[in-house]
Amino acid sequence: MKKTLDDLTPEIRAKIPLYKEKCVKDLYSGVEYDNYNREMLVRYIEKVYEIAKKDKPVIVVADDPIDYARKFKLLHNDKTLEAINTIFLRKNNPEVSVGIEEEEQQVDAILKVGTPEDVEIKSHFLFLISTYHRVYLMWYKFIQDEFGIEHKNKELLDWLYANANNNISRCYFTTMYVLVLRMPRFIRRNSVGFHNIEGPAIEWPNYGMYYVNGRKMTKALYEAVSNKTYTFDEFINETNEDVKANVITLIQEKFGNEELMVFLNATVVDEQQIQHSSGHSETVKIWKTKETFSFLSDIDGNPDQPYAWLELRCPSSGSIYLIPTSPHFKDASEACKFHRPQSIPNELRYDFTTFNN
């Protein structure tokens, strides 16, 4: 029987969080990493290759992105490929495949030896084998079970879903082998995205990735800001506004507003609470450095001016942006109007009628 959105009752909708929790609870907490089962991972990939009517590939597992890059490099060595090919042929010959699991695991250990030059971490994604496959399968499983849909692939979907939490992060696929990156030990998020002000947001035992409100930042920048070695001059010379937003947010959340003012050597000269027609409110500020600089001019060309910024907070991400502005502004709402698209007449009030969250 055909199903429509009208069949999505409040009772069925209320079950969605339960499916989501199954997807990520053990992943975020580190339980899935600690309970890693190589046999389960291998069996899952072999099943997908079986669906594609392909022979079983040799599975090579990397523990973190650095290990992944190293093994990717070494896997393109002729001698390594020769050894992989031997295991591949034996693995797909029932008469000589006994004990092949131990040989396959030995490849992981062999490829840990040596430190080739840095290489780009290469991968591509297959919906059934990637970071996203568990979510992809979750929705199909939810639709199948909660709407009572019968179909020819029900048994297959049930098996894939039951085995989806298998510690696979990304893969590099070939006919003969698959290079697999394990999931990280910890993933830390806020309501916006990956986020952690106390260290890596995505963390393997020997590698970490840093994010603030869903925006990636380098380890070097994170450590410089955290150790208070990042300078005001570096901030001024940075041209990427997302990088500057990360710096501001990190300083503010780790050390507070007073420390942010010290870093900028600035004060707030105007602060306004604006109530938009959309129903949301916004606090906007004008910051200016206490010091003036002979090489800085305002919008009218007057020299010897301070640095000035308009502070805006993104309503959806929560990120704070300090937009360079003319130091002649004394009214924050007027500065907001100035930074709108030029097509909006200046006489119109600074106001949003809609708000996307």
pLDDT in tens, 45-72: 999 999 999 999 999 999 999 999 888 8
186-187 and 177-182 strand pairing = unpaired
pLDDT in tens, 219-250: 999 999 999 999 999 988 898 888 988 998 89
Token pair belonging to 272: 């306004």
pTM of the model as a whole: 0.72
Q: Measure the CA–CA gap between 210 and 218, rounded to whole angstroms.
A: 6
SS3 state of residue 130 = coil
User: How much is the mean pLDDT over the chain?
Assistant: 87
- The overall longest dimension of the chain from CA atoms, in Å, is 86
Q: Comparing C-alpha atoms, which of 207, 215, 281 is closest to residue 248?
A: 215
pLDDT for 120 equals: 57
- For 24-56, give the DSSP string: HHHHHHTHHHHT--HHHHHHHHHHHHHHTT-PP
Distance, in Å, from the CA atom of 94 to the CA atom of 245, rounded to the nearest integer, reads 58
- pLDDT tens digit sequence for 256-313: 877 888 898 899 999 999 898 888 888 999 999 988 888 788 888 998 899 899 998 8
Contacts of 286 (CB under 8 A, 6+ apart): 268, 269, 270, 271, 308, 309, 310, 311, 325, 329, 330, 331, 332, 335
Cβ proximity of 176 and 76 under 8 Å:
no
Phi-psi region of 199 (alpha: psi -120 to 50; beta: other; left: phi over 0): left
Q: How much is the pLDDT for 97?
A: 62
- Residues 182-220: pLDDT tens digits? 999 999 999 889 999 999 999 999 899 999 999 999 999
